Structure 1
Amino acid sequence: METLNPNWFLRARLKTRHLLLLIALDEHRNVHRAAEALHMTQPAASKQIRDLEEMLDVKLFERLPRGMEPTLYGETMIRHARMALTSLSLAHDDVLALKAGLAGQVEVGVIMTPAMSLLPQAIARVKQTAPLLRIGVHLEPSNTLLDMLERGTLDFMIGRVLERENSSSLIYEELTEEPACAVARVGHPLMDKASLNLKEIAGYPWILPPQGSILRHRCDMMFRRAGLEPPANVVDTTALLLITALLQQTDFLHVMPVDVARYYQSLNVLSILPIELPFKMDAFGIVRQQDHLLSPGANLLLSAVRAAAKEVY
């Protein structure tokens, strides 16, 4: 059998009526009744099947005394014909939804870093073409978002897939790694130095994520690997409003993703300390449920997130 190129159907001049005929033959198992159902003549139907068989160089149907029976090749073509027509039907529904102004609702979950630049860019793009689309955004840690995704509360999320028993039902598209940095208030004494080492910052009071979190564990291990005790004077919180207020009023230090820190530094809320931390947070990406069919609005936002990610990362 010859190897067909990926666009063999263009050379075969495959049309929707070929697909409909394959399905009709599967349902009626008789070329006369299949042709009748599609308002075709029997010779025309027979010729179309012969043309298709010649192009594929296989027999699609066994001609029996009392009808037709699909071969293994025929069953394969019939299955794909059904899939193609279903896809075209969904495309029609999507186009109608787009024409209606995409007035549906999309629920998306996001962790902090992509909430700073990636998601706002994607939402801005979507709102240009679909101003009536209602977009609900949930800013939470990955664990919380994964629970919401599994309950069906979210269409998709931008975060991390952590070790979970039921992660096999998830589709994950990695976007980027997330480097971390140390920050302090503007004018902090440590900002006078050209560069710092871990020993110089270990003794300061810190604001850190709570014990048990991935980031806290990595911070503690960073100091231990350098032969230092992790900071003992610590405020445990992930509340950004409290963190920025505490940083501005004290000499506390804090660790946060680089993209988030750059954003706050550009607003003159805090400063990034001149030290390269020897660890990265896990990469994050787009996460969605394998069996969750996205609405046209959710698909539009998902496409905008992918497009913005190519620019941002």
Structure 2
Amino acid sequence: MVYTSMDLASHLKPAHLNLLMKIAESGQLQRAAQMVGMSQPAASRILAEIEERVGGPLFERHPKGMVATALCEICIRHAKIILEEYHALDEDARRIMSGQAGRARVGAVTGPAVGLLMPAIRAIKASAPDIEMTIEVGPSTELVRGLVEGRFDFVIARIPPEYDARDFRLQPARSEIVSLLVHPEHPLASKTRIDLAELTAFEWVVQEIGSPIRQAVEAAFHEKKVETPTRVTNSSSLLVVLSLLESKEMIAPQSEEVAKMLAHGPLGTKLVALDLADPIMVSPCFIIRNRFRQLPQSAMQVLDSVYGNL
């Protein structure tokens, strides 16, 4: 009886294919059985079953050994491909289960994205380059909404007031310090211990109303009983900030991590962070996870790397 390809595929196992290859390689049924870890009677029975299913002999028996037939050569050619795919499947599954492959989808507000998330991802890329990363930077409201909707595995952000913190797993991240960036030729660039009252007459490019950095800057002015700057451009775009900082009169508040990155940026000359008499602090961020979802192993590996940088 000759079986169809579907019948044959459903009955042949990797061990059967491996046996065929070892018989062809050694020319001896007994030796092939030893190589695949089975008894000779079992190997003989499996070979007979395969020959029945393919509809013809796979080996010619000679005094010096077994020689593969043309039919066997075809079977072996396909067996090599199939076994390679099995091995690849096993390796890929092992890498995913160990966190060395798979996907990680992370969001962060700008400061922690630069100072906390990027170092963690560089470390992960060195140890597990096959993890596919998706990274988004945005305001906390959008990030936490994305986490709730399942678009992120975890985010580094602040809990917006419309969300219940009890729905999340929270880990405090670093506190943020605000740096005031200026052009190197700004009138205050080389001055030390600057009071906020000295800054009100200059132009500012500031994040939109309600953003954490803007709130921190305004709170610092209010605490010192100093009028907030009136010559303001509203923008959270780093491209806009860099463009406007070409002016020698502009001041741009940024998180300390971003300021350090931009201090060696594309202006051709280094930006300068003003030396303030009193630091301006931003409300802290959290590493936020959905309490009701389990992280994939790949995302957990990224999270562990972030924890290692705290």
Band the TM-score falls in, shorter-chain normalisation: 0.5 to 0.7
Q: How far off is 1:192 after superposition?
A: 3.3
Match of 1:274 in 2: 275
Match of 2:147 in 1: 149
The question of whether the paired residues in 1 share the 8 Å contact of 2:123 and 2:305 is answered with: yes
Q: How far off is 1:160 after superposition?
A: 1.8
Q: Unaligned 5+ residue runs, structure 1? A: 1-93
Match of 2:293 in 1: 292
The range that moved more, 212-221 or 291-300, is 212-221
Give the TM-score normalised by the residue count of structure 2. Answer: 0.64
Q: How far off is 1:113 after superposition?
A: 1.5
Q: For residues 192 and 100 of structure 1, what CA distance do their matches in structure 2 show?
A: 52
Task: State the secondary structure of the residue aligned to 1:157.
Answer: strand
Q: How far off is 1:257 after superposition?
A: 1.3
Task: State the secondary structure of the residue aligned to 1:183.
Answer: strand
Q: Unaligned 5+ residue runs, structure 2? A: 1-91
For 2:290, the aligned partner's letter is Q
Give the length in aligned residue pairs.
218
Give the structure with higher Rg (CA).
2
The question of whether the paired residues in 2 share the 8 Å contact of 1:182 and 1:277 is answered with: no
Match of 1:236 in 2: 234
Q: For residues 272 and 143 of structure 1, what CA distance do their matches in structure 2 show?
A: 28
Matched, 1:139 2:144: no
RMSD: 2.5
For 1:205, the aligned partner's letter is E
Q: How far off is 1:278 after superposition?
A: 4.5
The range that moved more, 273-282 or 287-296, is 273-282
For 2:196, the aligned partner's letter is L
Q: For residues 228 and 283 of structure 1, what CA distance do their matches in structure 2 show?
A: 24
Match of 1:227 in 2: 225
**CA deviation profile, 1:155-185 (whole Å, cap 9, x unmatched):** 0011222323332111110022111121211
Q: For residues 197 and 233 of structure 1, what CA distance do their matches in structure 2 show?
A: 18
For 2:110, the aligned partner's letter is M
Match of 1:206 in 2: 204
After TM superposition, which residue ranges in structure 1, 4 or more long, deviate above 3 angstroms? 97-103, 266-269, 276-279
Match of 1:253 in 2: 251
Match of 1:215 in 2: 213
Q: How far off is 1:218 after superposition?
A: 2.9
After superposition, residues 106-185 of structure 1 pair within 5 angstroms as 106-185=104-183
Q: For residues 99 and 276 of structure 2, what CA distance do their matches in structure 1 show?
A: 49
The question of whether the paired residues in 2 share the 8 Å contact of 1:248 and 1:269 is answered with: no
**CA deviation profile, 1:5-60 (whole Å, cap 9, x unmatched):** xxxxxxxxxxxxxxxxxxxxxxxxxxxxxxxxxxxxxxxxxxxxxxxxxxxxxxxx
Q: How far off is 1:100 after superposition?
A: 8.0
The question of whether the paired residues in 2 share the 8 Å contact of 1:161 and 1:172 is answered with: no
Q: For residues 123 and 225 of structure 2, what CA distance do their matches in structure 1 show?
A: 48
Q: For residues 239 and 104 of structure 2, what CA distance do their matches in structure 1 show?
A: 27
The question of whether the paired residues in 2 share the 8 Å contact of 1:158 and 1:286 is answered with: yes
For 2:244, the aligned partner's letter is L
**CA deviation profile, 1:202-231 (whole Å, cap 9, x unmatched):** 111111111233332332232233232211
Give the TM-score normalised by the residue count of structure 1. Answer: 0.64
Q: For residues 303 and 221 of structure 1, what CA distance do their matches in structure 2 show?
A: 34
Q: How far off is 1:137 after superposition?
A: 0.3
For 2:288, the aligned partner's letter is V
Give percent identity, aligned residues only: 25
Q: How far off is 1:285 after superposition?
A: 2.5
The question of whether the paired residues in 2 share the 8 Å contact of 1:109 and 1:139 is answered with: yes
Q: How far off is 1:250 after superposition?
A: 4.2
After superposition, residues 43-62 of structure 1 pair within 5 angstroms as none
